[in-house]
Structure 1
Amino acid sequence: MNRIKAVLEDKGIKQTWLAEKLGKSYNMTNSYVQNRSQPSLEDLNKIADILQVDVRDLMVPNKKATS
């Protein structure tokens, strides 16, 4: 699972813009945004760079930290 959709919404950025900057088709980018498929680590890093966020902001933690 990823948080790409949430970050795009927070920043007011459209999927079409991200697709163009990423060099991917709208359909591929949409599948990432809708969590139908997950981007490679390389693409996830590119997305983070394009959106100017930490790559960890695009991921959903798989478990909670314990104190």
Structure 2
Amino acid sequence: MSKTTYNRIKSVLAEKGKSNIDLADSLNITPETVSSWCTNSAQPSIKRLFEVANILDVDARDLLISTKHS
């Protein structure tokens, strides 16, 4: 069974040259929490998603997988 991907946090971190640890430090949370988001085994709250977007200097929508299929 394949895991559903809901967010692009891992991809955006790579695009920005940042690590899980960098993001965890900025949010004052554990790297394991960020890792769970990056593997899509857990998801950040909406509030936290906006904090991540702010830290990574992207629109919050850029952190999510689109539900529209062209």
CA distance in 1, matches of 2:68, 2:42: 20
C-alpha displacement of 1:33: 1.1
Identity %: 40
- 2:25 corresponds to 1:20: yes
User: Structure 2, unaligned stretches of length 5 or more?
Assistant: 1-5
C-alpha displacement of 1:7: 0.4
| Letter in structure 1 aligned against 2:47 | E
Give the RMSD, CA atoms, in angstroms. Answer: 0.9
Partner of 1:2: 7
TM-score (structure 2 length as normaliser): 0.87
Large movers: runs of 4+ above 3 Å: none
- 2:53 corresponds to 1:52: no
- Cα deviation code 1:12-36 (max 9, x no counterpart): 1011010010111111111011111
CA distance in 1, matches of 2:11, 2:62: 10
CA distance in 1, matches of 2:12, 2:37: 12
User: Structure 1, unaligned stretches of length 5 or more?
Assistant: none
